[in-house]
Structure 1
Amino acid sequence: MRYLPLTPADRTEMLSVIGAPSIDALFADVPKEARLDGPIRGLPLHASELAVERHMTALGRKNTVAGEVPFFLGAGAYRHHVPASVDHLIQRGEFLTAYTPYQPEIAQGTLQMLFEFQTQVARMLGTDVANASMYDGSTACWEAIGMARRITKRAKAILSGGLHPHYVSVAKTMAKYTGDALDVALPELSAETDIDALIAKIDADTSCVVVQYPDILGRIADLTPLADACHANKALLIAVVTEPVAMGAIRAPGEMDADIVVGEGQSIGVGLQFGGPYVGLFGCKEKYVRQMPGRLCGETVDADGRRGFVLTLSTREQHIRREKATSNICTNSGLCALAFSVHMTLLGEAGLRRLAGLNHAGACRAAARLAKVPGVRVVNHTFFNEFTVDLGREARPIVRRLADEGVLAGVSLGRLYPGVAALENGLVVAVTETVTDEDIEALATALEGALEGALAA
């Protein structure tokens, strides 16, 4: 049943008030190539509920299920094992239906969970404080850039070439409306990161430098020299973590003096889910907490001296400050944050370190095996569970061929950077604890066959 409470006259009056000639004019900022030019192709205009279910099920069967084939996709979204107890706990009624906990007296469970989430994220990222989550990693990255502008009163952000291109795209979209100047570079298909180049770009107009850790090619760099250079110029260092499991094996960015650390929390507790919903992580130094977006939960005591939890520093938020708020975050992906927190609680620090060890060991085995395939060069000298290989030819056709053979080989850089010839031979390969030695052998064998076939052609 369709629910259309507005009459044509209502719509006409609303458009008149805001000065828009038509409803289509409200979507003018959406690129034309991204807009539908009619009904969705492949779906009937009218059908019974049963017919729609059958049709959608048939479409769904065309998907390749991640858990049924060798799976090496990563580049910001990772397949990890999520214990069944996570879903069991987050589906309890008091969590599943809870929304923004403005009334602490009836939301103690949700507030305590968010407080614990903040504690876990702050310890993981190495920051003094963390908020109660963001929408996802890419929007958290942009919010960090906006926060740096408020703190430094500058509007030039330098973005590393190793920053995920989707994160760069989100930043560009938002910067169109804020006036921020973004200095953006492309990565190079080499083992070296661009830390030295970033340091050389910092000047008196720089608000922040944004660097991914590990970066889009899986490379790991010491961020300390970059942090020192930023602070010498009164700029901030923003570190982006797209694979939080890595924090169980490598130094946290906050320990290297990063001012703001953001990330994508999907790897812990949250499935791939066709790209979302995910959960953004956001931490910073305590001195910047009043400029941090999102909401914060604090611990206190009630009138009887009992431990309790409340929203704190709420004067920064939009329900109080309106257009002067630190961000427009009005919800916090709370259910995904809960899944993250439950999974982290089940793991504990020792469990996270063991999980990270499994990931890195598997990636080392995969890199060693792929290096033996004729024509394949492993680019990285350093990596956690993700690395880049140079196939010596365009990777996209190879990836498609392997997908037809039932092996999801990785993410081609040609897909992430269309039209950039210097990167089209690159393939980003991710290995998590879900990948077996048999999967690695299947990838190597299929890749060898595909490269031999390409040579023969």
Structure 2
Amino acid sequence: MRYLPLTPTDRESMLAVIGASSIDDLFVDVPEEARLSGPIADLPGHASELAVERHMTALARRNTVAGEVPFFLGAGAYRHHVPASVDHLIQRGEFLTAYTPYQPEIAQGTLQMLFEFQTQVARLLGTDVANASMYDGSTACWEAIGMARRITRRGKAILSGGLHPHYVSVARTMAKYTGDQLDTASPVLSAQGDLDALIAKIDDDTSCVVVQYPDILGRIADLTPLADACHAKKALLIAVVTEPVALGAIRSPGEMDADIVVGEGQSLGVGLQFGGPYVGLFGCKDKYVRQMPGRLCGETVDADGRRGFVLTLSTREQHIRREKATSNICTNSGLCALAFSIHMTLLGEAGLRRLAAINHAGAVAAAERLAQVPGVELVTDRFFNEFTLNLSQEARPVVRTLADRGILAGVSLGRLYPGEGDLANGLVVAVTETTTAEDVETLAAALQEVLA
């Protein structure tokens, strides 16, 4: 954000306009004990622009840049190559300054982009309809659970042990205020998921079953039997996709009769950027569209018969009565949705399938090479571009040691599940089109040395 300095005269003029005698008058509602009596301790005083730039640059250099080292991090956020044209197009003034289409008649470009985005997401997830995006994958997951409660009028959600623990944490936080009962579990470090256990838990009080696809360990399962079991008890199946590129190679959850499919769209068009902002994907069967959170853009014609775009459905708090709203999410990750849509458009269906094939082939080669290292066992036998290794020692110290050597080896399950001793040796490794054979060999050699 640009620095816009104000002179004392400027401040006096502004205060005079609003009828305040001093800046302190603006804070009269803040209790005296909560106000600072002076500058914040330990913050440096005034510095020149040049000095600040040097200081901030020095701080930035302490970061490890993903593109400069062997990079195997995943577990919900993935490093893919984003074409330069994506960044160029989203920075055009027509897009960059368009916040949200409060006045559709003057936001036709934004609405058309969201309309195309919805089409792409619906086809990708295999659903009848998709909304104009959510904040991120974790909040989309919770919104799906809330939507299932409204549809089924039940308050018990069964969450797979393979669901990302951060998504589970968000759901727990929100459930405190809705009264939903969440049946959760941790994953088991094995090649098999927990679909049979989930099916056994479904009863007449179940609103939904939430399963990740591929799951946190990278495992892929046929969701059709789980969908059938849910529907037999009039419950809904919610599928969560954290790596949308996978859907260029494997069946979509919608094809396996999932009722609601949500996910994180970061992999396409959006960089890692320290964890956000990202973009949530949300699709469902057509019969549930009126319970879908967020907004739905539609196509119509104006009074002169010309093609136009409108907000067809907008059930958020800002548009209707609060008690009738389906969500308190009041906007969407519009610029990230645009980046997603541009990247998808550049790839096309054939390009996405080729990208997915490259990811899978690279991951298979990496898994086979790493499994040859003494002290390394491959846990996941069916995966897309992410798999789990079982090391002969605790994974967290290994990851730290390799990070000190400039190798970001993956995400330790001990970090995701602190206190879960059975998972402490697990290491989730992700391989994308940005991973080279040299990167894999570097990791294998380093693991062999550290585990010796």
Q: Could you tell me the TM-score, scaled by structure 1's length?
A: 0.91
Return the alpha-carbon distance in structure 1 between the equivalents of residues 233 and 302 of structure 2. Answer: 45
Report Cα offsets for 1:163-219 as digits up to 9, x if no partner: 000001111111111111111100000000000000111111111110000000000
How far the C-alpha of 1:329 sits from its partner, in A, is 1.7
Report Cα offsets for 1:394-425 as digits up to 9, x if no partner: 00111111111111100000111111110000
Question: Is the 8 Å Cα contact of residues 294 and 315 (structure 2) preserved in structure 1?
Answer: no
Return the alpha-carbon distance in structure 1 between the equivalents of residues 220 and 315 of structure 2. Answer: 38
Correspondence for 1:415: 415
Return the alpha-carbon distance in structure 2 between the equivalents of residues 122 and 291 of structure 1. Answer: 16
Correspondence for 1:226: 226
How far the C-alpha of 1:142 sits from its partner, in A, is 0.5
Q: Could you tell me the TM-score, scaled by structure 2's length?
A: 0.92
- Whether 1:50 and 2:28 are equivalent positions in the alignment is no
The correspondence of residues 256-275 of structure 1 with structure 2, limited to 5 A, is: 256-275=256-275
Return the alpha-carbon distance in structure 2 between the equivalents of residues 198 and 164 of structure 1. Answer: 16
Return the alpha-carbon distance in structure 2 between the equivalents of residues 146 and 46 of structure 1. Answer: 49
The correspondence of residues 115-194 of structure 1 with structure 2, limited to 5 A, is: 115-194=115-194
Return the alpha-carbon distance in structure 2 between the equivalents of residues 217 and 238 of structure 1. Answer: 18
- 2:321 partner SS: helix
Say which is worse superposed, 379-388 or 314-323, in terms of deviation: 314-323
Specify whether residues 366 and 40 from structure 1 end up closer, same or farther in structure 2 by C-alpha distance, changes over 3 A only. Answer: farther
How far the C-alpha of 1:48 sits from its partner, in A, is 4.0
Specify whether residues 39 and 389 from structure 1 end up closer, same or farther in structure 2 by C-alpha distance, changes over 3 A only. Answer: farther
Correspondence for 1:426: 426
How far the C-alpha of 1:304 sits from its partner, in A, is 2.0
Say which is worse superposed, 47-56 or 158-167, in terms of deviation: 47-56
Q: Which runs of 5+ in 2 are unaligned?
A: 16-21
Report Cα offsets for 1:36-87 as digits up to 9, x if no partner: xx9697x536544433322221111011100001100000000000000101
- 1:154 partner SS: coil
Report Cα offsets for 1:286-334 as digits up to 9, x if no partner: 0100000011100111122221111112355532223431111221110
Correspondence for 1:389: 389
- 1:428 partner SS: strand
Return the alpha-carbon distance in structure 1 between the equivalents of residues 264 and 40 of structure 2. Answer: 34
Question: Is the 8 Å Cα contact of residues 385 and 431 (structure 1) preserved in structure 2?
Answer: yes
Question: Is the 8 Å Cα contact of residues 162 and 212 (structure 2) preserved in structure 1?
Answer: yes
Correspondence for 2:348: 348
The correspondence of residues 10-159 of structure 1 with structure 2, limited to 5 A, is: 11-13=27-29, 44=44, 47-159=47-159
Question: Is the 8 Å Cα contact of residues 102 and 311 (structure 1) preserved in structure 2?
Answer: no
Question: Is the 8 Å Cα contact of residues 293 and 315 (structure 2) preserved in structure 1?
Answer: no
How far the C-alpha of 1:8 sits from its partner, in A, is 5.2
Question: Is the 8 Å Cα contact of residues 240 and 263 (structure 1) preserved in structure 2?
Answer: yes
Correspondence for 2:282: 282
Say which is worse superposed, 232-241 or 54-63, in terms of deviation: 54-63
Correspondence for 1:368: 368
- 1:434 partner SS: coil
Q: Which runs of 5+ in 1 are unaligned?
A: 16-20, 25-37, 453-457
Report Cα offsets for 1:80-124 as digits up to 9, x if no partner: 000001011111111000011122221111110000000000000
Query: What is the aligned residue count?
Result: 433
**What one-letter code is carried by the residue in structure 2 that aligns with 1:130?**
A
How far the C-alpha of 1:12 sits from its partner, in A, is 4.7
- Whether 1:313 and 2:313 are equivalent positions in the alignment is yes
Question: Is the 8 Å Cα contact of residues 128 and 284 (structure 2) preserved in structure 1?
Answer: yes
Question: Is the 8 Å Cα contact of residues 292 and 326 (structure 2) preserved in structure 1?
Answer: yes
Say which is worse superposed, 50-59 or 407-416, in terms of deviation: 50-59
Say which is worse superposed, 50-59 or 250-259, in terms of deviation: 50-59
Question: Is the 8 Å Cα contact of residues 161 and 185 (structure 2) preserved in structure 1?
Answer: yes
Question: Is the 8 Å Cα contact of residues 295 and 315 (structure 2) preserved in structure 1?
Answer: no
Question: Is the 8 Å Cα contact of residues 315 and 327 (structure 2) preserved in structure 1?
Answer: no
- Whether 1:198 and 2:202 are equivalent positions in the alignment is no
**What one-letter code is carried by the residue in structure 1 that aligns with 2:271?**
G
Correspondence for 2:322: 322
**What one-letter code is carried by the residue in structure 2 that aligns with 1:275?**
G
Return the alpha-carbon distance in structure 1 between the equivalents of residues 312 and 278 of structure 2. Answer: 24
Return the alpha-carbon distance in structure 1 between the equivalents of residues 88 and 199 of structure 2. Answer: 47
How far the C-alpha of 1:379 sits from its partner, in A, is 0.0
- 1:297 partner SS: strand
Return the alpha-carbon distance in structure 2 between the equivalents of residues 326 and 59 of structure 1. Answer: 43
Question: Is the 8 Å Cα contact of residues 290 and 316 (structure 1) preserved in structure 2?
Answer: no
Correspondence for 1:292: 292
Correspondence for 1:237: 237
Report Cα offsets for 1:267-292 as digits up to 9, x if no partner: 00000011111000000000100000
How far the C-alpha of 1:433 sits from its partner, in A, is 0.2
Return the alpha-carbon distance in structure 2 between the equivalents of residues 159 and 11 of structure 1. Answer: 45
Correspondence for 2:217: 217
Question: Is the 8 Å Cα contact of residues 158 and 183 (structure 2) preserved in structure 1?
Answer: yes
Return the alpha-carbon distance in structure 2 between the equivalents of residues 23 and 213 of structure 1. Answer: 47
**What one-letter code is carried by the residue in structure 2 that aligns with 1:417?**
Y
Return the alpha-carbon distance in structure 2 between the equivalents of residues 416 and 46 of structure 1. Answer: 41
Return the alpha-carbon distance in structure 2 between the equivalents of residues 131 and 109 of structure 1. Answer: 17
Return the alpha-carbon distance in structure 1 between the equivalents of residues 45 and 182 of structure 2. Answer: 44
Report Cα offsets for 1:253-277 as digits up to 9, x if no partner: 0110100000000000000011111
Return the alpha-carbon distance in structure 2 between the equivalents of residues 300 and 417 of structure 1. Answer: 49
Specify whether residues 139 and 316 from structure 1 end up closer, same or farther in structure 2 by C-alpha distance, changes over 3 A only. Answer: closer
- 1:210 partner SS: strand
Question: Is the 8 Å Cα contact of residues 392 and 451 (structure 2) preserved in structure 1?
Answer: no
**What one-letter code is carried by the residue in structure 1 that aligns with 2:324?**
K
Return the alpha-carbon distance in structure 2 between the equivalents of residues 312 and 336 of structure 1. Answer: 21
Return the alpha-carbon distance in structure 1 between the equivalents of residues 349 and 122 of structure 2. Answer: 13
- 1:200 partner SS: helix
Specify whether residues 46 and 200 from structure 1 end up closer, same or farther in structure 2 by C-alpha distance, changes over 3 A only. Answer: farther
RMSD: 2.0
* Identity across matched positions, percent: 82
**What one-letter code is carried by the residue in structure 1 that aligns with 2:183?**
D
**What one-letter code is carried by the residue in structure 2 that aligns with 1:294?**
G
Return the alpha-carbon distance in structure 2 between the equivalents of residues 385 and 40 of structure 1. Answer: 47
Question: Is the 8 Å Cα contact of residues 209 and 230 (structure 2) preserved in structure 1?
Answer: yes
Say which is worse superposed, 400-409 or 360-369, in terms of deviation: 400-409
- 1:79 partner SS: coil
Question: Is the 8 Å Cα contact of residues 134 and 280 (structure 2) preserved in structure 1?
Answer: yes
Return the alpha-carbon distance in structure 2 between the equivalents of residues 23 and 323 of structure 1. Answer: 34
Correspondence for 2:251: 251
Report Cα offsets for 1:15-39 as digits up to 9, x if no partner: 7xxxxx9769xxxxxxxxxxxxx96
